[in-house]
Amino acid sequence: MDTKQAIVARTDIGMGTGKLAAQVAHASLSAYEDADERTRKAWKGSGQKKVVLKASSESGIFELADRAEREGLAHAVIRDAGHTQLDPGTVTCLGVGPGPEETVDRVTGDLPLY
């Protein structure tokens, strides 16, 4: 099984580069932890393929999370703790997968690269 993970980050909240990197890392790890053992092993064993994509709004993140849920994909919505640049609870990213590449692409394939 070819596996993949997509991390979708918001572009409308003005995250600095370091903040963006930290939020993407949170999304990757949290979604990975939501995946079943077989999928985690397949993804880790095949190089942990991932892509970072853009979303322009919080509602866009939730629409994608709903699609991931309907597809049966591991996913995680990330909310910032509010210690630095953003207000507490601000939705920053969505991790989708790891999961079958074609299924992840059905959810996120139309989004532009970050």
Decide if 114 is inside a domain: no
Decide if 34 is inside a domain: yes
What parts of the chain have a pLDDT lower than 70?
none
Decide if 10 is inside a domain: yes
CATH number of the domain to which 91 belongs: 3.40.1490.10
What pLDDT is recorded for position 33? 98
Q: What's the CA gap between 46 and 33, in Å, rounded?
A: 17
Domain count for the chain, please give it: 1
Nearest to 31 by CA among 82, 79, 89, 73: 73
List the domain range (segments joined by +) for residue 40.
3-49+59-108
What pLDDT is recorded for position 16? 94
What pLDDT is recorded for position 1? 78
Decide if 54 is inside a domain: no
Decide if 93 is inside a domain: yes
Decide if 113 is inside a domain: no
Q: What's the CA gap between 90 and 14, in Å, rounded?
A: 12
Neighbours of 27 (CB within 10 A): 26
